[in-house]
Each structure stands twice: as structure tokens, then as C-alpha cells.
Amino acid sequence: IIGFSDVFSSKRLPYDYEQQGLGKEIVIKFSYVVAENTPKGLAAKMFAHLVNQKTKGRVKVELFPDGSLYNEFDEIDALKQGNVQMIAPSFSIISNQIPEWMVMDLPFAFPNDQAVQAAFHGAIGQELLQTLQSKNMIGMAFWGNGFRQITNDKRPIIQPKDFNGINFRIEQSKVMEDKFRLMHANTTAVPFNQLFQKLESGTVDGEENSISNIYSKKLYQFQNYITICNESYLGYVVLFNQTFWNRIPKDLQNDISEALQETTAWENEEAIQLNQEQWNMLKNIPGLNVHELTPAEKKQWMAVWNPIYDQYKPIFGKQMIEQIRELQR
Ligand code: LMR
């Protein structure tokens, strides 16, 4: 195997290696923080397989799951610097670099999976992908995981007052911070690969995540309560380093794009199914008390969170908020 830098930075320019036949590979290092039995973990494997198949082994995708190479606090820099070539960070993480992405984390932004898909494939998705261009990153696809649910070890979270004083782990995200602050809860930003340990040690009392992440990382072991509230959506943007991408020969770019399209179509279906299957297992775990938020309770939460929409309007612009509001009708 020879790495990207060997192929492209050498005096033998990109297309040189093509003339040398199939013996040498371009390597795409793909770093992500979740476990393998998650929508992103499975999709990464599928993508690696399809790329290998379509490029007849000329491009190899190397997978680094579980934050084994970088966690989400440093993976964007690693991508920009070319230490990895591909990542799929959550919208929260990308919003630290590009605030427009906070729109995806607005509380109750998406009422259901159809609304999420409409955002991915519509004007919101397009606008967000364009924001990446100036950052030497190219956004190639949206992958879903699932709606975030709230877990903790203190008390059932049903009404806004129940959040009071609980310390929640959040992703590094302004919107998340404000959301819990408005509920009079505390927050601590913790990388995903440290979350298990922070819950175990009691450094944080609770967290918000997709069923798949709660299940696959066994976070439920330290949590007595889960509220099924669908309060926000955990989704990802699939990113390549732009310079790297531009230097891949056209025919291979096409193969990789095709592999990604097939993976993406599968991933977004799989995310729904896997979260459902893992929920069926999670809800039967002894000691985990489940509350499903009723529409009336959701209204109470929303009354507290509504100001966030106005607060962040200057960042996304009025039009983006209107597009989100449209999906809620
Ligand atoms: C989290 O940090 O909770 C998630 O964003 C991790 C992930 O990539 O799903």
C-alpha cells in the first residue's frame, strides 16, 4: 500500500500512478467516533467495500472507528491538515466551525424522519453544503442516525422543571448549551469516546443521544431514566479534504461518488431500522425507566425553547428558519 502523499506529492503527478496500473492504491483514511454497530459504523464498512469493488482495488478506505485515531474535538483539524481524508461529524460538531449548521440542532426542528430527509435533500441541505467550500472541505452526503433522547440517573425528565440542576453531557455546541441552560440544567462538553467513563464516574449525570449510540456504547448501564422525546436530530455530513478530492483522477472520483450515493441511500434507511431494533432491546433492559413525552408535555418544553429560534435567527437568516418552520407544519 502506498499512501496518498506517496502517490500525489511525489514528482510523479496524480495521473502517473494510473499509468502504472492497478498495483498501487490511493488510501482514504476515514475516522469516526461511534461503534461499528451503528448506522455510521455500518455505512463506513459498506462504503469501504463498495469503493474497493468499484475501483477494482485502486482506492482503499481505511476505517478508524470508536475515535481510535481522533475524537470529534480534533477530527476536523485532522481533516483540514490532511492527516485523514474523510470524516462524518455530527451537525453539532461542524457548527463550531461554521455556525450556520446550528440550524440542524434547533430543538424539535424536525417532527419526523421525512422532515429530516426533506432538509437533507432540499434547500437547507444545499445551503449548508455550500458553507464548507471556503474551509477546504467538500460535503458529499448527509447520513442520518436518529432522534436524540434524554437519559440521566437522577429522576424522570417529564416537565421542564425536572431538568433542574442535572449535569448533562453535551456535544460541543452552542445550541445544545442554551437548550439545557433554559431548562436550568448544567452542561459539560465531553468527547464521545469519553462519555462512557464520565457517566460511570458520575462526572456527568445524563446525556442526550440516539438510541443507537446509547445502545451500542452501553451508556444505559449508568442511567436510570430515558425520555423518548425526539428533541433534536443526530445526523452527519460526510466530508472529504477538498485538496485531496480534487487530486483524485476523474474516473476514480466517479467510482467513489457512486459508492457514496449507494451507501447513503442504504444508510438513511438502515438508520431508522437499526434505531428501532435497538430500541426494542433497550426498552426491556431492567432498571431503565422509560417515559414517552406526550404532545402536551412537548408543548411545555417547546414554550421554554422557543426563544432559541429568535436568538439564533441572525446566524441562519430568516429564510432558513422559515424553511425549518415549514417542515414543522
Ligand atoms: C455524540 O458525540 O454524542 C455523537 O455525535 C457521536 C456520533 O458521531 O454519533
Q: What is the pLDDT of residues 228-242, one digit of tens each?
A: 999 999 999 999 999
pTM of this structure? 0.91
Name the closest-CA residue to atom 9, ligand 1: 34
Torsion angle, CA of 55/57/59/61, rounded to 10 degrees? 120
- The residue ranking higher by pLDDT, 107 or 14, is 107
Task: Please give the ipTM for the structure prediction.
Answer: 0.97
Q: Which atom of ligand 1 is nearest to the CA of 207?
A: 3
Mutation to probe ligand 1, out of 34, 95, 233, 278 (largest number of atoms < 8 A from CB): 34
Q: Which residues contact 133 (CB under 8 A, 6 or more apart)?
A: 242
**Predicted confidence band at 5 (pLDDT cuts at 50, 70, 90)?**
very low
Helical (H) or strand (E) element with 270:
helix 250-282
Exposure string for 56-71, b = 16+ CB within 10 A, e = fewer:
eebbbbbbbbbbebbb
For residue 180, report the distance from its CA to the centre of ligand 1, in Å. Answer: 17
Give residue 217 CA to ligand 1 midpoint distance, Å.
11
What's 26's DSSP letter?
A: E
Decide whether any atom of ligand 1 lies within 6 Å of the 35 Cβ.
no
Q: Name the β-bridge partners of 241.
A: 137
The CB of 213 under 6 Å from ligand 1? The reply is yes
What was the pLDDT predicted at 293? 98
**pLDDT by residue (tens digit) across 15-70?**
343 443 434 689 999 999 999 889 999 999 999 999 999 999 999 999 999 999 99
Strand segments (E) across the chain: 26-31, 59-64, 86-87, 137-147, 149-152, 167-170, 186-189, 206-209, 225-228, 233-241, 289-292
pLDDT of residue 316: 87
pLDDT in tens, 123-175: 999 999 999 988 999 999 999 999 999 999 999 999 999 999 999 999 999 99
Q: β-strand 86-87 against 149-152: which pairing, if any?
A: unpaired
User: Terminus-to-terminus CA distance in the chain, angstroms?
Assistant: 52
